[in-house]
Amino acid sequence: MADRPQTDVSDPEMPTGTWGEWASDHALRSAISLCLALPLKMRLWLMGGLVSRIVAPLAGYEARAMQNLAHVWPEMSHTERRRLARRVADNAGRTMIENYDVLGLRDRMRDAPVTGPGLPAMEEAREAGRPILFVTGHYGNFEAPRAALVARGWKIGGLYRPMSNAYFNAHYAENMHRLSGPVFEQGRRGTMGLMRHIRGGGMGVLLFDLYSGKGVPIEFMGRPAPTLTSAAEIALKTDALMVPFFGIRQPDGVSFEAHFDAPIPPGDPVEMMRAATRALEARIEADPAQWFWIHRRWKPERQARRQRKRAAANTAP
């Protein structure tokens, strides 16, 4: 008989969940294992096609990407939005399976081009023992630059966003630790752990391009997008060099360039996050298919409701 979902919560290391989550996790594990057994190019082609042609349309990711594209570029035709949304999903599928083989990604990135105006300042900070906070978005493969540095002897920690399925999250989190550590779960406790690591002279990565109701509205692709300023605040509190980086997928769909922008000057946290946002915008404008348009980045309806509530509160007697 197959193992049943764990229901004994006395062991804090044992995940708990529903039968459906357990079954979904086993299906995903099987698919991942099968893909990882394939040669690299075939594996990426298969996962890209599976996600873009089957998963994204069924799960609503394609529709969400098209809605976001219409929000930012209303002049874009429906046909072009669908074509772009499928390219986005293809990249997402490739990224997912790549990040389940983080040691293989590290080895692939060992000889990948590492470019950008931020490199001299990074080397200087590393030699001086000054902490570095790398910031990026869900663009290309956001683990590729970290893998490139780890392959060259750097040790870089970070935060990861836990999965809602506890069974899947258990091995997903374990996989995140395999490349380099320490790695912390997103949240107040994890953020404090990352800050302690950086304050001690360490290096870490933060992704800043997800919606947060606690964020400050910052223009992103011409539309206000609530953005947390925590990355800038951590950099200021720890005197860390704040460097935007990007793993740019190349036209072959397999290789990458790891690009490091010039460090963002310390100052007002909101202005620092505006600079980080502009760096991400420049990458998206160069190749919009590499950004994860499947995320609910703007949530314009929710923003409008909050604005109405604030307006009503300000006019109340």
The whole-number pLDDT of residue 108 equals 96
Q: Are residues 198 and 296 in the same domain?
A: yes
Q: Which of 277, 261, 247 is nearest to 144 (CA)?
A: 247
- CB-based contact 256:114 (threshold 8 Å): no
257 in any annotated domain: yes
Least confident interval from 21-35, 62-76, 215-229, 258-272: 21-35
What is the pTM assigned to this prediction? 0.87
Given 64, 98, 132, the domain boundary residue is 98
Given 55, 70, 98, the domain boundary residue is 98
pLDDT at 171 over 80: no
The whole-number pLDDT of residue 14 equals 58
With cut-offs at 50, 70 and 90, classify the pLDDT of residue 164. Answer: low
Q: Are residues 149 and 273 in the same domain?
A: yes
Q: Are residues 94 and 120 in the same domain?
A: no
For range 4-28, the mean pLDDT: 59
Distance (Å, whole) CA 249 – CA 266 = 30
More confident residue, 186 or 229: 229
Q: Are residues 87 and 208 in the same domain?
A: no
With cut-offs at 50, 70 and 90, classify the pLDDT of residue 2. Answer: very low
Domain residue limits at 85: 24-98
115 in any annotated domain: yes
* Count of H-run helices and E-run strands, the chain: 13, 9
Percent of the chain topping pLDDT 90: 67
311 in any annotated domain: no
For range 21-50, the mean pLDDT: 87
For range 180-193, the mean pLDDT: 80
Total domains present in the chain: 2
Least confident interval from 68-72, 144-148, 170-174, 296-300: 170-174
The whole-number pLDDT of residue 317 equals 65
The whole-number pLDDT of residue 6 equals 39
104 in any annotated domain: no
pLDDT at 243 over 90: yes
For range 213-228, the mean pLDDT: 95
With cut-offs at 50, 70 and 90, classify the pLDDT of residue 145. Answer: very high
Mean pLDDT of the chain: 88
Angle at 316 between CA 312 and CA 317, to 5 degrees: 170
More confident residue, 162 or 140: 140
Given 98, 130, 148, the domain boundary residue is 98
171 in any annotated domain: yes
Least confident interval from 26-40, 78-92, 178-192: 178-192
With cut-offs at 50, 70 and 90, classify the pLDDT of residue 163. Answer: low
Residues 6+ apart with CB under 8 A from 300: 71, 223
> What count of other Cβ atoms lies within 10 Å of the Cβ of residue 85?
25
Q: How far, CA to CA in Å, does 116 sit from each of 48, 120, 122, 259?
A: 28, 9, 11, 5
Q: How far, CA to CA in Å, does 212 sit from each of 28, 208, 209, 296?
A: 28, 10, 9, 10
